Amino acid sequence: MFIDGVRTPFGRAGEKGMYWRTRADDLSVKTIRALLDRNPQIPLDRYDDVAIAATTQEGDQGLTLGRTAAILAGLPLGVPGFAIDRMCAGALTAATTMGSGVGFGAYDVAIAGGVEHMGHHPLGSGAEPNPRFVAEQLVSADALNMGKTAERLHDRFPGLTRERSDEYAMRSQQKAAAAYEAGLIQPDLVPVAIESDTGWGLAERDEGLRPETNRETLATLKTPFRPHGRVTAGNASGLNDGATASILASTAAVKEFGLKPRMRMVNFGFAGVEPEVMGLGPIPSTEKALQRAGLKIDDIGLFELNEAFAVQVLSFLDHFGIPDDDPSVNPYGGAIAFGHPLASSGVRLMNQLSRQFAEHPEVRYGVTAMCVGLGQGGTIIWENTNWNGKKHARAAASKGRN
């Protein structure tokens, strides 16, 4: 069961970003501490494990984050922890790992999350890819550049035009702005004290939001990954810093501590694809998860898809026959607006899906899915704990696919 989830506001990476003088592990500690404070009915010594993901595990983002962050957050020394890496799907994998432990009976309560400080640790920093990848033509050199893999999706599917990507990106920004205005994002945001040249302040809002985005401005942006390309800073997620954390618990723990689950993990799937078109990864991972759950895509009423690139989401929608503007897809907006601090993003998707479930008791199943660098995809299928069988099934049937 997904009990609760929180995140820091996501900041822009780099010296001008709000977290430039904030340690990565402190961001993670902040989210864990907030979870403990929000759920005081769970005794601290009853947490069975802590998994914190990071893509670049070095410096203030290294040293077995799950363990160090747990200690710094005030959990007893008897609570173990570990670090995990599946690049962008780090927190997603932390959740499936802990969820599997709960399902197996090894855990009653566990914490899963992720952190990425791309200002301190740019993607690929400190890494030394094996020269065999390129020398033996195991992958194209372009496969190590995520922006170039997104351009390849445009090449492979001519219907995925820049205009469609820009239109999708504009809607993401508009939906995120509307969600903030309606107070739908703030309940799971953890304010963070930040230091700058002007003194101390408080980060309370995602730094990369651009509600003024319009078609005309998007059309003028340069294409950094290829001359006359189609991927721009406007139709892709940014470089960001931020952290997330969530609590997963067993049915027994829910009863023992009087918890109110926000959703239930049904099944999950991870899959590999050609690294050169890594954005296609969520398609086979979703098909695998659906098959294992005994469900079809029409059974899914809400989708939280990570917007690493607009074209990547559009390829998923086209494959499953879902319109670009389907209201069941990222109703609050996505990473193009909020940001994508790599390994942390999975829990943001979970937070937003669980909030949407509460608004839509007629929807039984939802999906969180994302593409992963080097050619992977990850998907979790969730069940709405607010769903009420026959009554809502009839309501859903009267509204069509949703």
B/e letters for 120-151, b = 16+ CB within 10 Å, e = fewer, are bbebeeeeeeeeebeeeeebbebbbebbbbbb
B/e letters for 173-200, b = 16+ CB within 10 Å, e = fewer, are bbbbbebbeeebbeebbbebebeeeeee
Token pair for residue 21? Answer: 């003088």
Euclidean distance between the first and final Cα of the chain, in Å? Answer: 23
| Spatial contact of 242 and 339, defined as CB atoms under 8 Å apart | yes
Token pair for residue 320? Answer: 């499953």
371 is catalytic: yes
117 is catalytic: no
Distance set, CA 158 to CA 162, 203, 275 (Å): 10, 41, 20
Question: Considering 154, 340, 360, 392, which one is annotated as catalytic?
Answer: 340
**Gyration radius (Cα) of the chain, Å:** 20
Question: Considering 88, 120, 121, 360, which one is annotated as catalytic?
Answer: 88
Question: Considering 117, 121, 371, 392, which one is annotated as catalytic?
Answer: 371
Residue found under tokens 């445009």 = 154
319 is catalytic: no
Catalytic residues, which ones? 88, 340, 371
